[in-house]
Amino acid sequence: MNKRVHNFSAGPSILPDQVFDHASSAIKNFNNSGLSILEISHRSKDFIEVLKESRSLALDIAGLNNEEYSCLYLQGGASLQFLMTAYNFLNSNAAYINTGSWSSKAIKEAKIFGKVTEIASSADKNFNYIPKRYDINEQYDYLHITSNNTIFGTQFHSFPDSNCPLFADMSSDIFSRKINFSKFDLIYAGAQKNLGPAGVTMVLIKNSLLNMITREIPSMLSYKIHIDKDSSFNTPPVFAIYCVLLNLRLIKKDGLDIIGKNNNLKSELIYNEIDNNKCFSGFSNFDDRSEMNVTFNLSDGYDGELFSKICNENNISGINGHRSVGGYRASIYNALPIESIKVLIKCMKEFESNYN
């Protein structure tokens, strides 16, 4: 039997064992239908029930009224949402807070459709903090933020009060803590962090937003059409949605209060080691540190090959930082057990002991 791998990958990322157990069984025989979840029709009663339950659970977990909000399962990842949000809702001028690579890409796509005002940015310090001071003009079509930044390891711990609709890319921290989701008019999240496997994107959208749409939208990029067609305008990613459903059941069972406390504890343990270990230094500003993606570097003069060797010997996977910034990144999504955190800390202490 292989030793347990401690998966710190930023995505596709770790999922609960229960999801694998149920999903693997469904690949052989889904709901005793004699068919695999991979081959059932997306129009079948069995899958329509999957879609219905998963949409209902997502809104329930978020505390959103299912008459005011819709839950969609779309394809194309958050990258398509960068385009789709602007295509549908940017009519004259939209506001963006730029906190890293993903918000920069969202801004690039939005500029195709109208004026974009970057009301705040942390680019001046290589995105190691979350901007706090900015003016939000009620005339903006919407304000867009990226709630958590996987590459630079920063996170919004409070959200802007906005007179215009508030949009958020929550790909890497959705359902990782209890927040007031009703502050947002549109939330999107690629599944491959905290929700499920790659291939599906969750969108939570306030139905009244549809009244803002003034231009003709191609069918595949129209939120209205996807809402009208119950996320089945085209063939949806059946297996990925089923895995999301399995995970949402677990999230609902545990509750966001407990999940948030666990994630806070895990991140505090790692940050405490970084702050007290002479071999390492944190990247992000103290007040804006992410509870999902802990970014850090080796202090000057220490041997990265030795640290990698220690990590490999302890079955740690996915610890390297994003290729654009280097260093290290421990992604500690919901499903990562605290035992994996303790193993990483043990490796860091062992590394430091080589220099004592």
Q: What are the structural domains, with CATH classification, of the chain?
A: 17-254 (3.40.640.10), 256-353 (3.90.1150.10)
Residues 259-275: what's their mean pLDDT?
A: 98
The string of pLDDT tens digits covering residues 186-243 is: 999 999 999 999 999 999 999 999 999 999 999 999 999 999 999 999 999 999 999 9
Residue 276 reports pLDDT greater than 50: yes
Q: pLDDT-derived band of residue 135, with 50, 70 and 90 as boundaries?
A: confident
Please write down the HEC assignment for all residues of the chain. CCCCCEECCCCCCCCCHHHHHHHHHHHHCCCCCCCCCCCCCCCCHHHHHHHHHHHHHHHHHHCCCCCCEEEEEECCHHHHHHHHHHHHHCCCEEEEEECCHHHHHHHHHHCCCCEEEEEEECHHHCCCCCCCCCCCCCCCCCEEEECEECCCCEECCCCCCCCCCEEEECCCCCCCCCCCHHHCCEEEEECCCCCCCCCCEEEEEEHHHHHHCCCCCCHHHCHHHHHHCCCCCCCCCHHHHHHHHHHHHHHHHHCHHHHHHHHHHHHHHHHHHHHHCCCEEECCCHHHECCCEEEEEECCCCCHHHHHHHHHHCCEECCECCCCCCCEEEECCCCCCHHHHHHHHHHHHHHHHCCC
Report pTM.
0.96
| pLDDT score recorded for residue 217 | 97
Residue 151 reports pLDDT greater than 60: yes
The string of pLDDT tens digits covering residues 80-102 is: 999 999 999 999 999 999 999 99
How many Cα atoms sit within 13 Å of 310 on the Cβ side?
A: 16
Q: pLDDT-derived band of residue 4, with 50, 70 and 90 as boundaries?
A: confident
The string of pLDDT tens digits covering residues 103-117 is: 999 999 999 999 999
Catalytic residue set: 102, 169, 193
The string of pLDDT tens digits covering residues 278-319 is: 999 999 999 999 999 999 999 999 999 999 999 999 999 999
Residues 14-35: what's their mean pLDDT?
A: 95
Asked if 125 and 149 count as a contact pair (C-beta separation under 8 A), the reply is no
Alpha carbon 66 to its chain centroid, in Å, reads 22
- CA–CA separation, 236 and 15 (whole Å): 21
Q: pLDDT-derived band of residue 12, with 50, 70 and 90 as boundaries?
A: very high
Q: Express as a percent the part of the chain with pLDDT over 70.
A: 99
| pLDDT score recorded for residue 2 | 53
| pLDDT score recorded for residue 210 | 97
Q: pLDDT-derived band of residue 1, with 50, 70 and 90 as boundaries?
A: very low
